[in-house]
């Protein structure tokens, strides 16, 4: 299926609501929306931050609580297969990121998994002669990644070197031990070329560690084909696993058994139920587990992952990507047609192979209030503050092709137009900052 979001070849020809409705009518993926419970009055463009609720999740979690916990009690670790949930959910995630079964576990949080893999990567680097001392990342990487790296570098005697993306080629020197990047930038939606960047890192003698928080379930990823070394990612964004869902971790099988990871808890032990006093790591990715996992959250995550299984017969990630690009192309075109003259800029690259599944608009001032006014109208995106220098304030819109349609995009932009034309965003209520933006 190829989607044609533009009404004609001519970008000045107005894109009509009827055209968007026709795109929805022809969309082979439109039925996937029934797998989600969304409030009818909401256009949800924030699935990149917290995915929507799968329709099966409430009943499934209730079943786990009342049946598996309530009736099965401790027997459910075996009878309901609770104990192997990290590996079984890992196998479902592996299909979405170009890894093989048995190479991924769903566990802990993204931050904690980053600690484990970065620590393993630094141990590998420490064996080099002479050892390299730098971890290279981007200044605009998600802060928790930078904070975790900062702490680990301090502890292990490494230096964290931060650059802008265009400095990458020159910064990849023979001092770099690990290149730690987020594949799709959370602020701008810009996407790295994983194949090229990983090859460049390897050519410079560095390991490549990828954060897939905004990639897994959003864009096709080929970790093994692109020879990445380590990867982590998030369960509650595009995977729709629910607030605080378990994250995931992948290690290239050629590295997995070379090191213990530092959080060597009993779930990563080769024989946890022998209760021996000394640690012996489990073979394979299981050694990246630490302790007892949140089973209720795992149950919800499975409901999110099962929607991707339903999408597989419709073309899987390739089909979802085609629709996502059409949705984002349409959004950009509509904003340019209908909201010009309001000082909006585009922070997201236009080229398809350089962006993820979100579009970020910039504005010198008022971005926060404009987003609050949109949210009041039921168009939910979010706001990310700039740093006042290179990075501007951002209005962020995520497009999840599992449940967003073309007509939604048209209405979202129409609301944005009305908010800007009327000036309603200037109401004092919309400038009030909340704790979570
Ligand atoms: C969302 C996100 C995280 C979240 O980390 P948590 O440990 O789940 O809080 C980490 N890294 C990136 C790049 C993200 O986008």
- 308, 341, 356 - which closes a domain: 308
Residue 76 CA to ligand 1 center (angstroms) comes to 31
Same domain for 247 and 320? no
Helical (H) or strand (E) element with 234: none
> In testing the pocket of ligand 1, which one of 213, 214, 290, 398 has its CB within 8 Å of the most ligand atoms?
213
Q: CA torsion sign, 148 to 223 to 356 to 401?
A: negative
Q: Give how many domains the chain has, as a whole number.
A: 2
3-state SS, residue 12: coil
The arithmetic mean of pLDDT across residues 203-217, rounded, is 98
- CA 275 to chain CA centroid, Å, is 37
Same domain for 347 and 288? no
Residue whose CA is at the smallest distance from ligand 1 atom 4: 110
Ligand 1 atom nearest the C-alpha of 113 is 7
Q: In which band, very low, low, confident or very high, does the pLDDT at 1 lie, cut at 50, 70 and 90?
A: low
On the question of pLDDT at 390 being above 70, the answer is: no
Same domain for 304 and 330? no
Digit-coded pLDDT (tens) for 53-106: 999 999 999 999 999 999 999 999 999 999 999 999 999 999 999 999 999 999
Ligand 1 atom nearest the C-alpha of 211 is 13
On the question of pLDDT at 280 being above 80, the answer is: yes
Q: Give the whole-angstrom CA distance, residue 371 versus residue 400.
A: 19
Digit-coded pLDDT (tens) for 341-378: 999 999 999 999 999 999 999 999 999 999 999 999 99
Asked if residue 75 is part of any domain, the answer here is: no
Asked if residue 70 is part of any domain, the answer here is: no
Same domain for 334 and 299? no
Asked if residue 103 is part of any domain, the answer here is: yes
Q: What is the CATH classification number for the domain harbouring 415?
A: 3.90.1150.10
The arithmetic mean of pLDDT across residues 254-283, rounded, is 96
Same domain for 326 and 257? no
The arithmetic mean of pLDDT across residues 222-238, rounded, is 98
Write down the pLDDT at residue 388: 67
Residue/partner pairs of 346-352 with CB below 8 Å, 24 or more apart: 347/187, 347/188, 347/189, 347/392, 347/394, 348/188, 348/189, 348/190, 349/188, 349/189, 349/190, 349/191, 352/325
User: In whole numbers, what is the pLDDT of the chain averaged over residues?
Assistant: 96
Catalytic center residues: 142, 211, 236-237, 396
Residue whose CA is at the smallest distance from ligand 1 atom 15: 213
Same domain for 258 and 327? no
Residue whose CA is at the smallest distance from ligand 1 atom 3: 110
Task: Find, among 328, 313, 318, 300, the residue nearest to 400 by Cα.
Answer: 328
Same domain for 45 and 103? no
Residue 158 CA to ligand 1 center (angstroms) comes to 22
pTM, full prediction: 0.97
> In testing the pocket of ligand 1, which one of 118, 140, 145, 297 has its CB within 8 Å of the most ligand atoms?
145
Ligand 1 atom nearest the C-alpha of 234 is 8
């Amino acid at each position: 299926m190829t989607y044609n979001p533009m009404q004609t070849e001519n970008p000045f020809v107005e894109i009509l609501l009827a055209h968007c409705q026709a795109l929805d009518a022809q969309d082979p993926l439109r039925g996937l929306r029934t797998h989600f419970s969304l409030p009818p009055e909401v256009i949800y463009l924030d699935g990149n931050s917290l995915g929507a609720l799968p329709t099966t999740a409430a009943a499934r979690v209730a079943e786990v609580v009342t049946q598996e916990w309530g009736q099965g009690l401790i027997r459910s670790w075996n009878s309901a297969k609770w104990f192997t949930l990290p590996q079984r959910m890992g196998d479902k995630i592996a299909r979405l990121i170009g890894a093989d079964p048995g190479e991924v576990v769903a566990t802990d949080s993204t931050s904690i998994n980053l600690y484990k893999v970065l620590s393993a990567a630094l141990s590998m680097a420490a064996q080099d002669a002479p050892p390299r001392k730098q971890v290279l990342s981007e200044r605009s990487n998600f802060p928790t990644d930078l904070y975790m790296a900062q702490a680990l570098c301090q502890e292990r005697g490494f230096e964290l070197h931060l650059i802008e993306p265009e400095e990458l080629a020159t910064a990849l020197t023979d001092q770099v031990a690990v290149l730690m990047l987020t594949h799709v930038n959370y602020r701008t939606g810009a996407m790295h070329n994983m194949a090229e960047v990983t090859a460049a890192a390897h050519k410079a003698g560095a390991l490549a560690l990828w954060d897939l928080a905004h990639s897994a379930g959003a864009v096709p990823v080929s970790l093994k084909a692109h020879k990445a070394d380590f990867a982590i990612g998030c369960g509650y964004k595009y995977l729709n696993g629910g607030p605080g869902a378990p994250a995931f971790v992948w290690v290239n099988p050629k590295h997995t058994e070379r090191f213990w990871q530092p959080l060597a808890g009993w779930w990563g032990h080769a024989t946890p139920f022998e209760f021996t006093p000394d640690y012996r790591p489990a073979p394979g990715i299981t050694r990246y587990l630490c302790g007892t996992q949140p089973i209720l959250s795992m149950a919800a995550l499975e409901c999110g992952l099962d929607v991707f299984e339903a999408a597989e017969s419709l073309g899987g990630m390739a089909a979802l990507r085609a629709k996502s690009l059409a949705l984002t192309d349409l959004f950009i075109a509509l904003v340019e047609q209908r909201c010009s003259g309001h000082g909006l800029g585009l922070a997201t690259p236009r080229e398809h192979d350089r962006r993820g599944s979100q579009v970020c608009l910039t504005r010198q001032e008022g971005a926060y209030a404009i987003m609050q006014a949109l949210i009041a109208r039921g168009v939910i995106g979010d706001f990310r503050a700039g740093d006042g220098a290179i990075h501007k304030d951002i209005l962020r819109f995520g497009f999840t092709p599992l449940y967003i349609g073309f007509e939604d995009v048209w209405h979202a932009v129409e609301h944005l137009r009305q908010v800007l034309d009327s000036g309603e965003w200037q109401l004092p209520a919309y400038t009030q900052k909340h704790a979570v933006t």
